[in-house]
Chains A and B, each alone.
Chain A
Amino acid sequence: MRDLAVRLAALDADAGAALRVIAYFDSLAESRAGLQAIVRGAAVLAGCPARLDDHGRRVHVRVDAAGNAAPDPAAADQAWMRTLLVPDGSAVLALERPGEPGPVEAMILERAAGAARAVLDRTRGRVPAADPALVELIVDASAPPDVRENALHNLNLSAAAGIRAVAHPGGPALLPAGAPLPVGRAGIGPAVPPMDLPASYAAARTALRFAADGTPEDPGPTVVHADDLGAVALLADVPVDADAPDLRRLDQAAPWMLATLYAFADAPSLRAAATALRLHHSTLQDRITQAAHLLGWSITTPSGRLRLQVALALRRLRRHPV
């Protein structure tokens, strides 16, 4: 009779399979099954390991395809099929299989996530947001080491390996290894031992200044890693009132031009930039010509492109002075 269960697992991508997935997780939710049962359902139905990582609540559940609980301290792979349990991405349900989910996998993720959300809200309460005062102490280089050590202990982070400081416009946050990246403007510091978080936060604050709002007026990456800046970080030392004619030209640009210039400066090719902007590449070519005329320098040569990138970076630094 063993193959009865095998058949339950061998779901083809047909309508019946989707209905069975829905019925399975509805039944689990109705009988108030726990998180492991829900993650196990996802693993068994998908035929691969599944995991739920809720960094906010520090809940980690992983089950292999045979239904065995199989904790794995390694971080989740961003390439896996996954769905967010909360909008900020601090809790994720993933099937350990790379690529775009097919219809059955998408249904498994959706229904399992719905059931898991209900359990988390019912049994674990609201996310215990890390006390902002403690986080501020942890990243404060002027706080005495024993005070910072104590704050780390209170947040259960004394032994956290590879933790990063995050600078948000509203203040600091911490990013444990494997946790999903924040959304919204943020600078991410390098991974450090917990007691070195003040240095990580200093670098994160610099990175935050390079982060854009991601709007037409302020196009650019919303999340910037200090690790990726390298020598470009030195631009942050330029006084914000330093005279820079290139910036004045940029500020005179038409509203469409900033997004076009950023896409062009950031993309590996004109065609890639056109795709990002959803323009025909010949249309983009015309705009680039027009923009270069207004700026007063060629932006298609390597040195002209660098000059554009520097100007755009300086413009972001001025918009975000602290």
Chain B
Amino acid sequence: MTKPPAFDPELGAALSAIAEMLPPFTLDGIADARKGGAIVGPTDEELSRGGKFTVEERLVPGLNGDPDITLLICSPDNKTGGCIYHTHGGGMVVGDRRLGMDALLDWSEEFGLVIVSVEYRLAPETPDPGPIDDCYAGLLWTAAHADELGFDPSRLIVAGGSAGGGLAAALALRARDQGGPALLGQLLMCPMLDDRNDTPSAVQMDGLGVWDRGANLVGWSALLGDRRGGPDVSPYAAPARAADLSGLPPAFIDVGSAETFRDEDVAYATRIWQAGGDAELHVWPGGFHGFDMMVPTAAISQDARAARVRWLNRLLNG
């Protein structure tokens, strides 16, 4: 394999400080990673942003007799009829419904969107299909309660980053296949899509940056066990496995050029276009996984965040 792409200068300069806070990720280390302070979302008080948002939690039924699921619901005072249903990141094994909410609240402030974030059960305690079933059950409940939550059911968007991006992509596939809610769009930030973990970028970035091939193997193995990489993986677990990417809602996909997911994310966008679909793809040069969250001040991070806002603006107001 040829040498990997260089990190963006500002991102590369911050990487050593980030690496100190993100120790190597192993199956045995999942419990420690969950306790670690590095991956923490905002508190209720932070979510309310000084009263701009009404924050509540609802317990809703799981799918087919599964345990109830908690939905975190943040309603702005300037609702304009849209809603984003959010699936958090964390490699399928860590994180909770609060993780990543800062960015969603920023969008909500800008566009008046209701935000619903689902607390899905994590692998390895809950292997596939538990996590995606929880996400789908929450999506069904959210769409069915649009009136109560104060949004127009035709303006429902799924969004997520990393593992949450993979889950959001899976929700779009499943809603299409199973007659679920009609979605206005899918916003997939550096999504985790392919359990096979063998693309050129996965190999090229092995041991480098954030969420390398080894960490990715841990996440997928926790979710799929021995089925990982084999013939029996559902597209609702790993959307890259879907044979048909037609008939999906417009997609926004972004990814760094210096991360494991580069090639699977580029391929996903390409296959959507080949199937006649609508996708916007941004590959940020020299970006490692989650760069815009970890180094929000860098110029390239500012541009990456701005691109999402511009896509949302066209989707919602275009």
Contact = CB atoms under 8 A, between A and B. Distances in A.
A66 interface: yes
Given A67-B299, A68-B302, A28 B10 contact: yes
B59 interface: no
A4 B9 contact: no
Given A1-B39, A2-B102, A25 B13 contact: yes
B73 to A, nearest CB: 21
A28 B13 contact: yes
Contacts of A44: 297
A40 B296 contact: no
B232 to A, nearest CB: 33
B243 interface: no
A231 B293 CA distance: 62
A9 B296 CA distance: 11
Contact of A37 (B21, B290, B293, B299): B299
B294 A33 contact: no
B42 to A, nearest CB: 9
Nearest to B161: A1
Nearest to A32: B9
Interface residues of B, number: 28
B296 A31 contact: no
Given A4-B38, A7-B17, A31 B297 contact: no
Interface string B13-47: 11011100110000000000000011110000000
A36 interface: yes
Contacts of A32: 9
Contacts of B99: 1
A322 B6 CA distance: 60
B7 A31 contact: yes
B293 A2 contact: yes
B18 A41 contact: no
A5 interface: yes
Interface string B295-309: 111110110000000
A75 B9 CA distance: 29
Interface string A6-17: 011100000000
Interface of A: 1-5, 7-9, 20, 23-25, 27-28, 31-34, 36-37, 40-41, 44, 66-69
